[in-house]
Structure 1
Amino acid sequence: MNLLEREMQYPISQQVPVSLKRKIRSTHVKENILAYVFLAPSLIFFGIFLLYPMMKSIYLSFHLTDPRGRIAAYVGWDNFHTLFVSNAFWKGLWVTGKFAFLTVPAGIVLGLIMAGLAHARLRGIRVFQFIFSLPLAVSVGTSSVIWMMLFHPTMGMFNYFLSLIHIAPVQWLTDPSWSLMSISLMTIWMNSGFNFIVLLSGLQNISEDIYDSAKIDGSGPIRTYIKLIIPLLSPTLFFLFIVSMINSLQSFGQIHILTQGGPAGSTEVLVYSIYKEAFVNYQFGTGSAISIVLFLIILLLTFVQFFVVEKRVHYQ
């Protein structure tokens, strides 16, 4: 039996010197420590601004608090029971669902149209790309003030255009039948910049050979876009749908500035109910209970999208 055959009889781990094993183990430990050092700032901020508030909300949801937010009494599940028997909560949940239904699909469709137009190789298209992405650079507060002037019943541009075609002016923000639609319209515009940029980047990742093959087969631009490009964009659309859904369920700023949840609660989504319970009525326990329920709803919808909708996503 030669030397090679003799060495092959023993496991490789026994052939490695002990000093080399220690050196490798020490290197792995140092790499792990270095990784945690680089992750430490993110983990600290995550713990302070996300994990701790979440744990605090769970704790407060089982208690009554005084106006200063201090614990007054332990009530167990009473806050949740009060919530689920409240008509205001179910109305807020219904308004939140309608708001998401009005804003998410329309925002994605508008983003698809703008991205398709801006992706064309036309002269001066860079100008339109800048214009389409401009809403992303405007804050919620600024957008709300701009649209408040547009919605003004006497001096607003929308009612002015309606008067040109002899249609009676609309009370955009004070009529319960129009208020949620008005907020949704403003939200669609406000989110259009982000949707446009994400979808345009998805279009730019599609090979030009696919467009050339479609032209050779005699497919028109609209048919190519609907039948070929949109399925190839399904990973981007899936990501955008999840992000848009979460953002719509967490919308607050434009509602607070434009309608304050009114008129008659027609725009009072769950996030605004949390604000009103905690910082207007000083019921931090009930507000925390609503926030926990909203978190569970978002978590459930996200899981449903991952386990159901993702099956229709075509990854290249």
Structure 2
Amino acid sequence: MEVDSDDDTWRLNLNDAWTSDSEGEVRAKPSTSAAKFARAELDAVNVDIDAAPATTTAPRGDVNASKYALTLPNELGVLTVAQIHKCELGTVVWNAALILCDWLRANAGTLRGRTILEVGAGCGACGFYAAACGADCIIADCGPQTMLNLEKTLACYENLVAKRPGGGSFAGNVKIRRHLWEEDFEILEARRLGEIPGRVRHWSNVGVFENEGAGFAAPMAPTDVFDIVIGSDLLYFSSQEESLLAALRLRLKPGRVCYIVQTLRTNNAEVFARFVLAARRYFVVDIVSASLPNANVFLRAKETPHALLDDPYRLLTLRPL
């Protein structure tokens, strides 16, 4: 992070490795990359925005259903994760989810018996993997097709657990919930003002209010809180940082921890930097570079053409102040 002393404009080098110093100040280690972004405009010096990503799996044809094979721990077998290409952003597995799954695999011993929320879950690969490690998980998102995919994958997960001898004794429970970060923002604002939160109209819930209980996943309750909150590739569009922060603040138990894996792209630099700065108001933030796991462990998933070719993934750890 660089700050211009004359106009207080920050510039973010997306290829920097991030650390957090002893005072909680988020800093970037120097890098040779010249890809920098200003608050109001993109200043891509040596970044080829149209360059192909390191990996890509999405066919450029019509919308089509597919499946991602996720090998679960504890000999549960291979989970068939439902996908639909070229539909909603949450209807395919992204590479960032594989990095988070690999982190869960490496830290499986700390997950058993914990309650975990996967926010912006998309296909829910991370939530299902955490459940296979013994955590009780809520997998939450909002898109209609995303929710249908999650229900299909949940049926497959429950079938794997049922077939595994003693599977129910070590595999955690999974529930699917409808969750809008904007609603959590409204809840926190209403609490601050002593008011009753209003309902949020959102593209994903058109028809939901009129058809509550008619096959739609139940919404998150305002009182639902968790030991761990996880998420991957949560920052894609602009102006998402405050609502995401509200979700993390509302859903995380005091003294607990949140883990997010984020892909750095040429079109999400500003929202990522704003999120980091805003998060420091409520959390101690640590950011480190992350790498894709061995393809023999997790098959490669989808990536966008906007992902940086050089070191694009970051693991964020957020602990409440």
Q: With structure 2 as the length reference, what TM-score do the two structures score?
A: 0.22
Instruction: From the CA coordinates, give the structure whose radius of gyration is larger.
Output: 1
TM-score, structure 1 as length reference: 0.22
**The structure with more strand, counted as a fraction of residues:** 2
Q: Which has the higher contact order (CA 8 A, sep 6+)?
A: 1
